[in-house]
A and B are shown apart, each in its own frame.
Chain A
Amino acid sequence: MKEEALFKLVDMALSLVQIGLEREVVLTRIQELEKAGRTAEEITEAIKVMRDEAIARAQSSINSTPPST
């Protein structure tokens, strides 16, 4: 039981860190846009596009996963 709780703790902590790391990846892309001299409006639109692409990729992964998993 202790071992199971530890595994869960590790997974939960890693998921939190994972979200933080994914956020940093997006921020890096935005910094590149800022350095390229994009306007605030263009950056706002680019962020929305990144979000929609991430959702589409996730949906595609789900669709291609067998129902039993």
Chain B
Amino acid sequence: MFTKKHVGLRTKVLLAVAVAMMALAAGSCGTIFTPTRPIGVSETLPPQLQTAQATINETNILLTATANVVAQNLKDGVYTKAEAQSYLDKVKSLASQVDTAQALIRVGDMTAMDKTKLIQQAVVVLHREVAARARKGG
């Protein structure tokens, strides 16, 4: 992303502050981790399962974004191959759990809601891990 050769210290300070503020602002107002509206939810589902379906779809969107970021960070040299594989394995594991919750919704199982809440929490934790891993030797 940035190299010591190309960016002066003063610029880096300003950039770090600006980007950190943007990230914090975006995170705190819910644009990154919180769904803004239900997506792909059938009104024929019972209300509880509508919430579960919205959570599943949002989680799948976040997993898609995470997988793309893992690939990009590997390409940019932020992650080693092993680190990228480790993060992607977590994405795959969560995707599998999401599919299990989706199967519960299909059969009208009300426990889907509890399961999707737990999965969503795990995805947020994974996002923070992915974001917290900074460039080696930066």
Contacts and interface: CB of A to CB of B under 8 A. Distances in A.
Interface of A: 3-4, 6-20, 22-23, 25-27, 30, 39-41, 43-44, 46-48, 50-52, 54-55, 57-59, 61-62, 65-69
Interface of B: 1-2, 4, 9, 12-13, 15-16, 19-20, 22-23, 26-27, 31-32, 39-43, 53, 56-57, 60-75, 77-78, 80-81, 84-85, 88, 91-92, 95, 99, 102, 127, 130-135, 137-138
A23 B65 contact: yes
B2 A20 contact: no
The 4 A-B pairs at the shortest CB distance, nearest first, are namely: A7-B138, A43-B40, A22-B65, A8-B134
A65 B70 CA distance: 13
A40 B42 contact: yes
Contact of A69 (B63, B64, B65, B81): B81
- Tell me the interface secondary structure of chain B in the complex: helix
Contacts, number: 175
Given A25-B65, A43-B39, A48-B60, 14 more contacts: A6-B16, A8-B135, A11-B78, A13-B20, A16-B26, A19-B131, A44-B40, A44-B102, A52-B95, A55-B88, A55-B92, A58-B71, A58-B88, A65-B84
B68 A22 contact: yes
B101 to A, nearest CB: 12
B32 A7 contact: no
A18 B65 CA distance: 8
